[in-house]
Every structure is written in structure tokens, then in C-alpha cells.
Amino acid sequence: MIEYNQIEAELGVQTMMTDRQQAAIQDWYRVAIKGEPCNRDPDTKALGLPAAICTELARLTTLELEVHVQGSKRADWIDHKMQKVISPRRRRILAVALALGSGAWKPYQAGNDIGVSFVSADSIYPISTDVDGDLTEAVFINRIQDSDYVYNRLEWMHVLTGPEDYHEKERSIIESLDVSIAAEYPCVQVINLAYVSSSKDSLGTRIPLATRPEWADVEPVAYLPGLTKIPCGYFVTPIVNTVDPSSEMGAAMFAPSIPEIIDADVQFTRLDWEYEGGELAVDLDEQYLKPLGEGGQPITDTESLRRFGVPAEALNQQLAQHNQRIYRGLNINTGIADGGTFYQVFAPSLRDSNYLGGLNQYLRHVETKCGLSFGVLSQVSEVEKTATEIISSRQKLYTTVSDIQAALEDALRGLIAALDFWADQLDGVPAAAGEPEITFKWDDSIIIDRQTEMAQWQAELQMGLRSKVEYRQHFYGEDEATAQKAIAAIQEESVATDILQGVLTGGNQNGNQDNKNGNGKKGGDKAR
């Protein structure tokens, strides 16, 4: 990751990045993307909890996610682009954003078409935002690495409301490129600068854009008229950034639980050593593994037959792999002739249940700190909680996922607005026809306790606040016609059942009456 102070020195601006924030992003990348232990101890075996947390939250957030843009031919074009962005194959990108604290979906022009790229937090340097948290100035890094060098392209995007918004060095760069300043305001000014370096952590030396064929068609300066924010979907995790509260880049979703993650990794390392150290073994005297003759010379067949009853060739054969693992050579011979032993069996009792119990406790602490419910990481069978505590635990997960969904929806709305802008720059794209209709559908079962919701609906149904049709549409996913048909069939079946029950009940009543009459007659005959 390029140090932010190099960007600031090169462009003459002050970014929102700080030493602590940049160090944290690099650390989050190390543990969540590369899978290294949080405590930096090479002897610690990492469970991979940071990646697991972000992956699961990304899955729950985007489960059955649907985004639709409707209302015009232009809207259909945007909708087609959005379906690719939210496809299951690309949803994994959200896990990266959750792991690094922020990220941006940014459209780019490719010939007469528009693509969407994702820029992770380690390649975004925010400079300013508006009151809604949308980026108004930022630097994005595009990196190409070959065998010897790293090529960096700085894409400096700045919202200009008038000539007074220019930075001093910004003007000098514009003049050096022999480009005039913006002709109309507001607009977004885009400055592209290329650099080459021998290190991925260094910005390097400035070079022409055409040095790389991939950037040969990129304009050094461009103006995007009418925009009051950078055309992208900027996503920030919905948790408090305890690393740097002043930063607009957010924090990793697992950041609050890093101390507990370290405890879990250390406990897992202990457990792994318990299994490895307690492995069955047979300790043999070394002479019985590969015996040697006098003076350390290879044993002869005669000597081997005398001592062991097998030829030396058989003794010198390489042990099978599993035998090499079981048999260990030690100097333990006390003399067979004197009644001593030449082997010992090593088979200690494992303490794995104690280690597993401790590990499960650490995992529960991680779940609590990250806003997860019990059982996401820990063994749910061992969670001895009351029903109220379990519901409270699940509610934490519902709240966490709901907050992420809200942040993601804001980012995707920003991306839709950016795509709408870029559509005007292309030939052949239908013209805009008013504001597009944007709808988001999330999987409600993740956020809402389904049993509780059904009970609430049934109560409202009894009070006449909802209809049976609405109930079936909501819980069974039926359209109105299908719901009405199903209700009618149920009602017909219910009427038929009532009629049959009535017939059967009536027959039994008559029979009972006849029995009563008959008994009365018998009683009368007997009396007479």
C-alpha cells in the first residue's frame, strides 16, 4: 500500500488517511485476506476467523438480494449493469469491503460501453465528503505489476463548484499538461497521472500515461459536468471506527474482536499441539531400528542372524511411512538378557475436551463483539442459554445485517446514479425519461424472526386488520389470483367437512335416542 504522505506531497492536498488508519488497513488485509495470525506469531495457527466473519456477514447481507431499476429504456440499460454487479459471483467483493472497512464500486468507460470496477480501501485516499458522506474529492489507485516494476495510475477526482475550489498544485498540474480549467460548474474534474516504481509501497517516478498500453487512451484531464459528487458507490461499514474516529474509511467488521480472535487462535494452537503431542508412538531402542556392528560399521548377515534372527538386508530396509511415524528410536535398552525391555508405548490421555470447551468460550466472545448470534462460529449445541438470551443473541445478528444492508443500499444507489450519468456519454443508449424507479428486496427472514412475524400477522388477521389473501401473498409468495383460489378451495373443503361432521353427529344422536327408548321399553316390559 502506497503511503498516504507520498500522495499528499505529490498532489499538494491533505487526505483523510492517517498513520493509524493506514496501519490498520494493512493489518486487516494481512489477517483477513492473507490469513495470517493476528498476533504476528508464526507459531500460532490461525483459525481464519476474520475471513469467516466477513464472508458470513456478506452472505447473510446479500442472501436473495434483488435490485431492480425500472421505468424506461434507460432504466433497463442500468438494470442490466446492476444485475452483473449483484450477481452471486461478485457478491464476494462485499466480504473484502467488510474486511477492510470500506470500498467503492466505480464505473469506467471502455470504448462505447461502461464497466464497473471495485476499488478496495487500500487503494482509496478520501480527501473530502459532503454532509451525506458522499465523496467530493478522492484519489483512486489503479495498479499494474509486471516482473520488475509496479505501475501506478492516480485518478484524482475533485468536485468543483467554481474556480475558487482549485488547489494551488492542482492548477500547476493542469498548466503543465497544457489543459484549460473547467468551463462550467459544478463539475467533477478528473486528473490521471502515471508513475513507475520498483516497490509496491512506493508511488515512484512520474511517467507518461502512454507508457502502459492499458492507459494509452486515458485522457490526462477530463471534466464531468453537472455532478456534485464523485460518480461511484462508496461503501463504509456501519460500525464505530475506533482506530481513527475522524476517518471516513470505516473499520473492519471484525476489528472490535481482535483481542478475542487472538485468544481463540492461541487456544486452537494449544488444541492442535495436544493432538500432535498425544499421538500414539512406540519408543524402541535404536539398535532395533537400524542396528550397526562393532565400530559403527554396517552389521553383517551373520551378526544380524545371531542377534535378531533376520538378515541384515531386512533390517536396513527403509521403514514404511506409517511405521516411521509410529516408531521412535531411543537409547532405552536395559538388556534383554537381564530381563529388560527394548520398547515403551507412548499413548497419553488427551485433554481435548477441556481445550475445546475453552476454545468455544473464546468463539462466543468473538460472536458477541462482532454482533453475531451464538452458533455462527461456536458450537451451538454447547450454548446453554435461556430462550430469552437466545432471542437476544439472534437480534444482534439481525441488527448487524440490517445495518450493513442499509449501508450497501446507499452505495448501490450511488452506483446507479453514476451509471445514469455515464449513460449520457455513450452513443446508442436510450435517453433518460425522468427519474428511474429503484427497488431493493432483501431476505426478510434474516432480519425478522419468522415465527414472531407470523404470530403478529395471525393476530392482525383475527382482528380484521389484514386479509387472508395478504397473508398468503406475504408468507407463501403467491400472487393475488393464486391466493384467492387457494382460500376458496380451503373454504369449500371446510364446508364439506362441516356437512359430513353434521351428518355423522346427527346419526349418533338418533342412535343414542333409540337406545334410550328401547331401554325404556324393556324396562316397561320387565315391570309388567
C-alpha cell at 380: 451451538
Residues 240 and 284 in one domain: no
Domain membership of residue 439 (yes or no) is no
Per-residue confidence at 352, pLDDT binned at 50, 70, 90?
confident
Domain membership of residue 217 (yes or no) is yes
With the C-alpha atoms ordered 246, 248, 249, 252, is the resulting torsion angle positive or negative? Answer: positive
Find the helix or strand (DSSP H, E) in which 204 lies.
Answer: none
Residues 12 and 122 in one domain: yes
Q: Residue 212: is its pLDDT beyond 90?
A: yes
Domain membership of residue 412 (yes or no) is no
Per-residue confidence at 276, pLDDT binned at 50, 70, 90?
confident
Compute the average pLDDT of residues 138-151: 94
Residues above pLDDT 90, as percent of the chain = 54
Strand partners, 222: 190
**Cα–Cα distance measured from residue 249 to residue 120, given in angstroms and rounded to the nearest whole number:** 10
Strand partners, 223: 189
Compute the average pLDDT of residues 383-401: 69
Per-residue confidence at 194, pLDDT binned at 50, 70, 90?
very high
Domain membership of residue 440 (yes or no) is no
Peptide bond between residue 88 and the one before it cis (omega within 30 degrees of 0): no
Question: From residue 456, how far is each of 399, 422, 466 by CA, in Å?
Answer: 20, 46, 11
Question: What's the pLDDT score for residue 375?
Answer: 83
Q: Residue 292: is its pLDDT beyond 70?
A: no
CA-based nearest residue to 374, from 37, 382, 91: 382
Give 343 or 475, the one with higher predicted confidence: 475
Q: Residue 349: is its pLDDT beyond 80?
A: no
Give 499 or 11, the one with higher predicted confidence: 11
Question: What's the pLDDT score for residue 342?
Answer: 59
C-alpha cell at 30: 494481512
How buried is residue 251: exposed, middle or buried, by Cβ count under 10 Å (0-12/13-18/19+)? buried
**Cα–Cα distance measured from residue 126 to residue 3, given in angstroms and rounded to the nearest whole number:** 13
Please enumerate in sequence order all residues whose Cβ is within 8 A of that of 515, keeping only pairs 6 or more positions apart, or say none.
none
Beta sheet of 233-236, edge-to-edge order: 113-120, 102-110, 233-236
Question: What's the pLDDT score for residue 525?
Answer: 46
Residues 247 and 292 in one domain: no
Residues 243 and 150 in one domain: yes
Most confident of 189-203, 268-282, 295-309, 510-524: 189-203
Q: Residue 383: is its pLDDT beyond 50?
A: no
Which stretch of 322-331, 401-410, 430-439 has the lowest confidence by average pLDDT?
322-331
Residues 208 and 311 in one domain: no
**Cα–Cα distance measured from residue 339 to residue 390, given in angstroms and rounded to the nearest whole number:** 63
Residues 284 and 232 in one domain: no
Question: What's the pLDDT score for residue 322?
Answer: 45
> What is the distance of C-alpha 399 from the center of its chain?
16
Domain membership of residue 370 (yes or no) is no
**Cα–Cα distance measured from residue 322 to residue 319, given in angstroms and rounded to the nearest whole number:** 8
Q: Give buried/exposed letters for 257-278 (b at 16+ CB in 10 A, else e).
A: bbebbbbbbbbbbebeebeeee
Give 306 or 434, the one with higher predicted confidence: 434
Per-residue confidence at 491, pLDDT binned at 50, 70, 90?
confident
Residues 194 and 87 in one domain: yes
C-alpha cell at 274: 495436544
Per-residue confidence at 374, pLDDT binned at 50, 70, 90?
confident
Residues 238 and 285 in one domain: no
Domain membership of residue 361 (yes or no) is no
Question: What's the pLDDT score for residue 380?
Answer: 66
With the C-alpha atoms ordered 237, 241, 244, 245, is the resulting torsion angle positive or negative? Answer: positive
Question: What's the pLDDT score for residue 506?
Answer: 66
Most confident of 295-309, 321-335, 459-473: 459-473
Residue where the block lists cell 440490517: 402
**Cα–Cα distance measured from residue 36 to residue 230, given in angstroms and rounded to the nearest whole number:** 35
Q: Are 100 and 54 in contact (CB under 8 A)?
A: no
Phi, psi values for residue 96, rounded to 5°: -65, -45
Residues 90 and 174 in one domain: yes
Question: What's the pLDDT score for residue 88?
Answer: 81
**Cα–Cα distance measured from residue 164 to residue 471, given in angstroms and rounded to the nearest whole number:** 59
CA-based nearest residue to 360, from 346, 348, 342, 376: 376
Q: How many domains does the chain have?
A: 3
Question: What's the pLDDT score for residue 521?
Answer: 45
Could you tell me where the DSSP H helices lie in 14-110?
Answer: 19-28, 49-62, 73-85, 92-100
Question: What's the pLDDT score for residue 321?
Answer: 46
Q: Residue 278: is its pLDDT beyond 50?
A: yes
Which stretch of 8-12, 257-261, 300-304, 408-412 has the lowest confidence by average pLDDT?
300-304
C-alpha cell at 112: 462505447
Domain membership of residue 12 (yes or no) is yes
Compute the average pLDDT of residues 416-436: 90
Whole-prediction pTM value?
0.75
Find the helix or strand (DSSP H, E) in which 110 lies.
Answer: strand 102-110
Q: Residue 289: is its pLDDT beyond 90?
A: no
Residues 336 and 469 in one domain: no
Could you tell me where the DSSP H helices lie in 448-479?
Answer: 450-462, 468-476
Q: Are 187 and 421 in contact (CB under 8 A)?
A: no
**Cα–Cα distance measured from residue 434 to residue 116, given in angstroms and rounded to the nearest whole number:** 23
Q: Are 3 and 201 in contact (CB under 8 A)?
A: yes
Residues 232 and 288 in one domain: no
Domain containing 319: what range? 279-346
Domain membership of residue 438 (yes or no) is no
**Cα–Cα distance measured from residue 402 to residue 444, given in angstroms and rounded to the nearest whole number:** 10
Average pLDDT, the chain: 84
Per-residue confidence at 477, pLDDT binned at 50, 70, 90?
confident
Strand partners, 283: 328, 344
CA-based nearest residue to 266, from 378, 349, 355, 351: 355
Q: Residue 143: is its pLDDT beyond 90?
A: yes
Per-residue confidence at 458, pLDDT binned at 50, 70, 90?
confident
Residues 24 and 147 in one domain: yes
- Helix (H, G, I), strand (E, B), or coil: what is residue 437? strand
Angle at 449 between CA 236 and CA 361, to 5 degrees: 70
Q: Are 238 and 196 in contact (CB under 8 A)?
A: no
